[in-house]
A = this chain, B = another copy of it.
């Protein structure tokens, strides 16, 4: 089992996508800037997310990525899985041939653990995360900082005036 920056980046980027979905496609450049993730690395991750049917892309100016279904239908476990970070804790991928063709002493322990983690991460959708208060606070801070940095205030003021 492995849970590193790779899977965390993927979930973070997907959440960023969900948070900014209302203004059309989101470019990787925006996500890169807001979340501090290398653009080229994001490209690699989104290639996998696309293959996993979690996002769809729009090319050209104004393009970017969109969630391929609604937020309720995308679980954290699926995102991590899509970027090849298995949540499985066994050595044998659950097959039970971990020691000389037989189950090893601790096989069942790792099976139980895998199931535990999988259930936990399968029970959380992007929609769940978006509605969490802590997430909203962080998102707001990130959007504000971005406005100050890039003096895109006009754009933001217009947007909030419309709302």
Contact = CB atoms under 8 A, between A and B. Distances in A.
Contact of A106 (B11, B91, B109): B11
A139 B105 contact: yes
B102 A124 contact: no
A20 to B, nearest CB: 11
Given A116-B116, A120-B116, A106 B129 contact: yes
Counting every copy of the chain, the complex holds 2
A105 B2 contact: no
Given A15-B106, A138-B102, A8 B120 contact: no
Given A106-B135, A113-B121, A116-B120, 7 more contacts: A1-B2, A11-B109, A12-B104, A15-B105, A35-B99, A35-B105, A117-B117
